[in-house]
Amino acid sequence: MKIGITCYPSVGGSGILATELGKELAKRGHEVHFISYERPFRLPTDTPRLHFHPVVINDYDLFKYPDYTLPLSVKMAEVSREHRLDVLHVHYAVPHATAAILARGMLPSERQPRVVTTLHGTDTTLLGRDPGYGPAIHHALTHSDAVTTVSEFLKAETQKVLGFEGHIDVIHNFFVPGEPKRSREEVRRELNLRDETVIFHSSNLRPLKRIDLLLEIVARIRSREPFKLLILAGGNFTPFVGQVRRLGLESRVIVREKVSDIEDYLQIADLGLFTSETESFCLSILEAMFFGCPSVARCVGGIPEVVADKITGRLVASSEADELARVAETLINDSAARRAMGEAARIRAHELFSCEVIVPCYEELYRRVGAM
Ligand code: GMT
């Protein structure tokens, strides 16, 4: 098939997922065309059947705010027409789904691709509640040929928040673990680690990730074993430096910003710690699972669909730092329990969230909408 994919190209779960999906589809013989304002950062340049079409945005003085939706829709229509796309698959509804619906309307009916919209999280839970966006999102979903969410939780939220009554397919996220570029020893040396257990956190550091709570928890952990917190930051860590100092965590916290070879660090992660207010899925937990790393996380959103409590990690209902610290502490002190959970996490990741399991669900969906 010929598939157009639009996503946010920068560091962020929805863009990462869309990029991996495009790569896997190309490997399976499909022709894939990415359409976005920048090349997605994990998209290779030299892969057969994988193409990138940049959207050029002119900054006109007459506009107070530059517009992206219209140039995106024009590019989507152009790529659809020239490459005879069967499907336009958009990741994150705003503004991608609206642009896809517009693009489809610009084409004669025999050239119109099917539109598949995948909701990832805040496109429903945050923007869906905003009266300035909600009706436009609802309109785009209603006019999509298929709508998917990355968890059952997000499906229920989409029905509740947007009042969307159409069919929704739940297709969970997947991850394809790459080979680390360096050995464990080299990475531990880079981080100046001796025998410390590595608590791992990776996120874009936005307020809902609750980095303040993460640091508070780490300050309260009283473990027998030495440990460090490694943060892979997809955003600027500077606003948290003051809190690190106040809590006396300067020697405890290691930060690496905008890391592309995440596998190097995932392979040394012993225990994930995730403090988000909400997550439709939490791809970072899944990435850690593939490397045998169990996680302690708040029991929110779609996280219980990813983490099996007491089997592949621990889910904590409370948002109290003391409570979360106590649970993390237990696992830092008990390396045998941690390793057993890590192994169970690795198996669960492969069984439920591998590309072999998930990518065929999208291919099946494309075939279904193609036959409509
Ligand atoms: O919705 C967002 O906040 C952005 C989005 C992203 O692009 O990072 O994150 C969402 O999509 C990820 C991939 O499906 C999920 O793993 C995240 O849980 C989800 N974020 C939230 O629900 C807050």
Q: Can you give the pLDDT at residue 364?
A: 98
Task: Report whether residue 114 contacts ligand 1, using a CB cutoff of 6 Å.
Answer: no
What digits encode the pLDDT tens for the residues 107-161? 999 999 999 999 999 999 999 999 999 999 999 999 999 999 999 999 999 999 9
Q: Which atom of ligand 1 is nearest to the CA of 302?
A: 18
Domains present along the chain, CATH in parentheses: 2-175+355-370 (3.40.50.2000), 184-352 (3.40.50.2000)
Q: In this prediction, what percent of the chain has a pLDDT beyond 70?
A: 99
Alpha helices (H) along 28-165: 69-83, 93-105, 122-125, 134-142, 152-162
Most informative mutation of 21, 92, 120, 289 for ligand 1 (most atoms within 8 A of CB): 120
d(CA 304, CA 315) in angstroms, rounded, equals 7
13 lines ligand 1 (CB under 6 A): yes
Residue 151 CB less than 6 A away from ligand 1: no
Instruction: Report the C-alpha gap between 202 and 215 in whole angstroms.
Output: 13
Going by CA atoms, what residue is nearest to atom 12 of ligand 1?
13
Using a 6 Å cutoff on CB, does residue 175 contact ligand 1?
no
pLDDT in tens, 105-117: 999 999 999 999 9
Ligand 1 and 278: CB distance under 6 A: yes
Which pLDDT tens digit goes with each residue over 30-40?
999 999 999 99
Count of alpha carbons within 13 angstroms of residue 2, beta-carbon side: 12
For residue 280 and ligand 1, the question of a CB distance below 6 A is answered with yes
17 Cα nearest atom in ligand 1: 13
Q: What is the pLDDT of residues 185-197, one digit of tens each?
A: 999 999 999 999 9
- CB of 14 within 6 A of ligand 1: the answer is yes
CA 90–ligand 1 middle distance (angstroms): 14
Residue nearest to atom 3 of ligand 1 (CA): 122
Each residue of 61-82: pLDDT tens digit? 899 999 999 999 999 999 999 9
> Strand, coil or helix: what is 269?
coil
Residue pLDDT, tens place only, 257-273:
988 899 999 999 999 99
What distances in angstroms separate CA 156 from CA 60, 148, 205, 290, 361, one per listed residue?
41, 12, 26, 27, 20
Q: What is the dihedral of CA 175, 92, 65, 79, to 10 degrees?
A: 90
Name the percent of the chain lying above pLDDT 90: 95
Q: Is the CB of 233 under 6 A from ligand 1?
A: no
Q: What's the 13 CA to ligand 1 centre distance in angstroms?
A: 5
Choose the residue to mutate in 5, 8, 14 for probing ligand 1, maximizing ligand atoms within 8 Å of C-beta.
14
Q: Across residues 319-330, what is the average pLDDT?
A: 98
Q: How far is the CA of 205 from the centre of ligand 1 (A)?
A: 12
Task: Tell me how far apart the alpha carbons of residues 302 and 315 are, in angstroms, rounded to a whole number.
Answer: 12
From the CA of 175, how far away is ligand 1's center (Å)?
Answer: 14
> What was the pLDDT predicted at 75?
98
- pTM, entire model: 0.96
pLDDT tops 80 at residue 11: no
The residue whose C-alpha atom lies closest to atom 7 belonging to ligand 1 is 14
State the burial class of residue 330 (Cβ atoms within 10 Å of its Cβ: 0-12, 13-18, 19+): middle
* Distance, CA of 199 to CA of 253 (rounded, Å): 9
Checking if the pLDDT of 59 tops 90, the result is no
Residue 189 alpha carbon to ligand 1 centre in Å: 32
Contact between residue 141 and residue 149 where contact means Cβ atoms under 8 Å apart = no
| Residue 225 predicted with pLDDT over 80 | yes
Mean pLDDT over each residue of the chain, to the nearest integer: 97
